[in-house]
A and B are shown apart, each in its own frame.
Chain A
Amino acid sequence: MIGSRGNKQFDWITILIYVALVSIGWINIYSASYSASATSFFDFSQIYTKQLVWICLSFVLITFILAVEAKFYERFSSIIYIVSLLSLLGLFVLGKNVNGATSWYFLGGFSIQPSEFAKAATALALAKYVSDIQTDLKIFNVQIKALVLIFLPALIIIPQPDPGSALVYIALIFPLYREGLHYIYLLLGFIVASLFVATLAFGVTWVSFGIILIAGFVLLKNKKRKPNFFKYGIIVAACIGFSVSVNFIFENVLEQRHRDRFNIVLGKEVDTKDIGYNTNQSEIAIGSGGWTGKGWLQGTQTKGKFVPEQDTDYIFSTVGEEWGFLGSLLVVLLFLALIIRLLILAERQKSQFSRVYGYSVAAIIFFHFFINIGMVSGLLPTIGIPLPFFSYGGSGLWGFTILLFIFIRLDASNYVNR
């Protein structure tokens, strides 16, 4: 029976990778936040000491998560989701503003960021909804409902404003696709994203030209099948229209700081002082690591605190500088191993609920991983989201720990049932 107690077979591979990532993460937080002025290791005003406490507490948390019956998560997913939505909404009333974003509750010295926990809640709710016997993702209404489920928390998070955290919810399209969502949504998403980037990079004229060229090419190839010219015309017009509107939004709706972020990544602006400072410094830190890095606590960029927010969003730059390409490679491979392991586990789940949840976990971690390292290494525009298990912050660590270990708990039940 699903979720019964008994000989639990936790997936130790995943757990070991988790432990490795958290440990390596802490070592780097120690370096990034290290200052010679710290009086003692147990100085609780130091960031690394705080993070160590969070890590220790997370193991207590893990014990609880694994002790709870698997069925609990499925049964209470709706309630968890609603509580999580309420906690997000509550921010508008009770939240505290930190760095321009009202994303935190302050509770007696602690700050809690509910958006970090909302991911697990949303994944649970999505898994629950999709695994319902009556849910058929081929039906348009169901599709809409699933999308609303996913993007409701994102919609609440955006105006906080925390667009980075909201962006991650796009990851949940992947479990839906796995469960039968038509590929057109992914394709549409891909086309929209491509057109968006292409328009910003090359301008409306060239993009329109490209669209017409591609359309003409496809038309020529499908000549024998008597293509519907009207349909082609509509698609081409829609694409160009989108491109024009992107341009319009970019130039007239977005604020200058957003425009700057895109322009820097696209190489249209060279800026190492103001908005591009973070990315530039981060690239210098990573790049100066060379093959093997400068050694732990020896990073000159890290010591000089050149990279802002290096212990949180930009923690990977410390890895890059002090451990070099080999160290970075190890971390990247650990993440890839974790994600791939999660996908393998998800595929072998007997229950659809576990599978959808597992997929969601893998997709969310992947999004965080790619966007964060992409940003830190200058591939993507500045999007402020943490690197899972690495970045400093109790909420983040706990949020990902809960996300991951609920799945490990679900997976363990799967074995019992075999």
Chain B
Amino acid sequence: MRKYLLLLIVLIFGIIIISRLFYLQVYNTSAQISSENNAIKKKFDFPQRGFIFDRNGKLLVSNQPSYDVMVIPKNIKEMDCDTKIEFCNLLKITEDELDNIIAKARIYSPRLPSVVIPQFTKDEYAYLSEKIWKYDGFYIQKRALRDYQVHNSANVFGYIAEVNQTIINKNPYYQMGDLIGKAGVEQEYEEVLRGIKGVKYQQMDRFNRVIGPYKDGIYDTLPTNGKDITLTIDAVLQEYGERLLVNKRGGIVALEPSTGEILALITAPSYDPKLLVGRERSKNFTKLYYDTISRPLFDRVLQGEYPPGSPFKTLTGLIGLQEGVIDINETVVCNGRYFYGGRKPLGCHHTRPPLSMVGGIAKSCNSYFATVYRRSIEKYPTPQEGMDNWRHHLESFGLGNYMGYDLPPGKKGLIPSANFYNRWYNYPTYKWYATATISNAIGQGEVILTPMQMVNFTAAIANRGWYYKPHIIKKINGVDTIPSKYTKRYNTTINPKHFDPVVEGMHQVYTEGTAARLRIPGIEICGKTGTSENYTKIGGKRVQLTDHSIFIAFAPKDNPKIAVAVIVENGYWGSRWAGRIAGLMIEKYLKGEITRTDMENYVLNGSLEEEYAKPISGKPFNINY
């Protein structure tokens, strides 16, 4: 025993040491990560973010340099009083503020750089750069910011902002302080626009100093600049649309029906994209974000869901024709009321004479389309089958679901299904019939659409039965194609021959119908007015507000070049605001100039602010006058 004790201990302890090493080196891999974190530092070269152009090659968004004053707290030398005051004057801050900033930077890290004051302009930089050498520990760092060439289209562009922790955790490409597109095309085409950062791997020492490239730089990469993109937006039309919507709430969206290209996408109220650049960015953003009354960050074209109102009658008509439940020449008697079941009748502003399809659309006869709708549903043995078949037709127009356009925000809208009503009426305990859903016929009831969906079905009608998915990308520099889903044609379930009477009806809207006074000389426009009832809650009570003014249109009648959907919230008659705006947009796009200056003046000078103030005024108010 005496002979072997030490030998035994040596062996046991030897095994302990080997196990410990095995654990550290092989089993537990956290040290590898720690080692990379503290010994190798990645230094990034930021590429130039891609520019954004409009469809005619006009530069919309470029970059501008911005200069941040940085500090490495460890390198600061004690400043005497005069120097400090001088320095603070230079930065336009107080001494206390400077002390605060430095204290915060020191807490973050004494050795790593922190921002003192971000985003000085070029002029300020010129002045600063001459003086900054006097203050040890401070230096100026250049960064690229967005430079907007226009004051509009904020909803289209989106904005860029520093990444937050959630994004960093999700996507390892981004580091603290990196910029990322946060909305609009900046977000949608982030990976195209941003390019690829270049990386230099540097060997660090224990004092966090660079002592040379890691492995002689064999892993280093150069930055790849972001690609420029061309949008389908027409900058002139876009700018004009924004002017038309001043002092109104709503949206305008215009498509080129033959391609699905978005010509203009305007939401109001909006904001100048320049507000979200520079030192005032965060202040401005907070202001926009918390404006819950006019909601400037809310895109009314893409996110706003509205009852479509009368423009929806075109679809009701098309489905009726496709289902063969009405002949185009058959007329329906209307007495200003449509009676169904024992309920109160569906009112109609039109009275006589009895109308067929073309006239029904032109005069927007509720009774006619209620009849067609009811027949379309009742053609099937059960209302459930009828409803689902009806929905199937509408889905082929891109309604009732996300549309797949290349902008981040979106809403599905609602095209009710049989199940929807089964739940609603607690089927089979209680039964429901086509008449219970009759309001759908005229675009009220349960149907809701976004303006983008409205313009899409308008384009499909303009094309007599097919459409391309709306998209905003026209060209990516250096890439031959845009995503293939935007070059694929989608057919509706409606036979092309059924479109002619509907198009004719929409044409007569202008010649003798609800928009007769909005005619534009020299352009054959087809359109449809809409006046949609809407409600809000005031103090928990459902209160009706002035109707939304809605209009859809395309022109010219043959070989259409533009389709437009316009909504002006609480604008009352479709022809009053939306109709005028749609006409002006079409004239602007097709002619480049405005002949109906009377209409233009009416819109440009008109304001609905008074209307919008009603529900928040706390006083009783009248609507629809």
What residues make up the interface of A, taking CB atoms closer than 8 Å to B? 36, 174, 177-178, 180, 186, 281, 283-291, 298, 300-301, 303-306, 308, 320-321, 324-325, 328-329, 332, 335-336, 339-340, 343, 347, 359, 362-363, 366, 370, 373-374, 377-379
Contact = CB atoms under 8 A, between A and B. Distances in A.
Nearest to A344: B7
A305 B38 CA distance: 11
Given A370-B17, A374-B17, A304 B24 contact: no
Contact of A340 (B10, B26, B36): B10
A177 B17 CA distance: 24
A308 B205 CA distance: 11
B210 to A, nearest CB: 10
A347 B3 CA distance: 8
Given A178-B5, A304-B203, A325-B25, 16 more contacts: A180-B2, A287-B24, A287-B32, A288-B34, A288-B35, A308-B206, A320-B24, A328-B21, A332-B14, A339-B10, A366-B9, A366-B10, A373-B17, A377-B17, A377-B24, A379-B16
A287 B206 contact: no
Contacts of B7: 340, 343
Given A284-B38, A306-B206, A336-B14, A178 B211 contact: no
Scoring A174, A287, A305, A325 by chain B CB atoms within 10 A of each residue's CB, the highest score goes to A287
Contact of B203 (A284, A286, A300, A366): A300
Interface in B1-45: 2-3, 5-7, 9-11, 13-14, 16-18, 20-22, 24-26, 28-32, 34-36, 38-40
Contacts of A362: 6, 10
A282 to B, nearest CB: 10
A177 B10 contact: no
A287 B14 contact: no
A332 B21 contact: yes
A287 B206 CA distance: 17
A417 B607 CA distance: 120
B217 interface: no
20 contacts: A177-B2, A284-B31, A285-B31, A286-B24, A287-B25, A287-B35, A288-B34, A290-B29, A303-B211, A305-B205, A306-B206, A320-B21, A325-B26, A328-B21, A339-B10, A347-B3, A362-B10, A366-B10, A366-B13, A377-B20
A174 B28 CA distance: 35
Contacts of A286: 21, 24-25, 31
Q: Interface majority SS on A: helix, strand, loop or mixed?
A: helix
Contact of B31 (A177, A186, A288, A374): A288
Given A283-B24, A289-B25, A325-B25, A300 B40 contact: yes
Nearest to B40: A300
Contacts of B35: 284-285, 287-288, 300-301, 321
A377 B38 CA distance: 19
A303 B7 CA distance: 38
B324 interface: no
Contacts of B20: 374, 377-379
Contact of B206 (A291, A305, A336, A363): A305
Contact of A343 (B10, B14, B39, B204): B10
Interface string B201-217: 00111100001101100
A290 B32 contact: yes
Contact of A298 (B2, B38, B215): B215
Given A174-B6, A332-B14, A303 B39 contact: yes
A339 B12 CA distance: 13
Contacts, number: 124
Contacts of A335: 14
Scoring A291, A374, A379 by chain B CB atoms within 10 A of each residue's CB, the highest score goes to A379
A300 B6 contact: no
B6 A178 contact: yes
A379 to B, nearest CB: 5
Contacts of A291: 25-26
Scoring A281, A284, A308 by chain B CB atoms within 10 A of each residue's CB, the highest score goes to A284
A97 to B, nearest CB: 25
A303 B203 contact: yes
Contact of A329 (B18, B24, B203): B18
A284 B16 contact: no
B6 A343 contact: yes
A347 B7 CA distance: 11
A370 B21 CA distance: 13
Contacts of B14: 332, 335-336
A289 B14 CA distance: 20
Nearest to B2: A178
A300 B206 contact: no
B26 A332 contact: no
B31 A283 contact: yes
Contacts of B5: 174, 177-178, 186
Contacts of A283: 24, 31
A196 to B, nearest CB: 18
Interface in B304-344: none
A287 B212 CA distance: 23
Contacts of B211: 303-304
Contacts of A363: 6
Contacts of B36: 288, 300
Nearest to A174: B6
Interface in B209-242: 211-212, 214-215
Contacts of A308: 206
Contacts of B16: 379
Interface string B188-211: 000000000000000111100001
Nearest to A179: B2
B39 A325 contact: no
Contacts of A177: 2, 5
Nearest to B1: A183
A347 B18 CA distance: 26
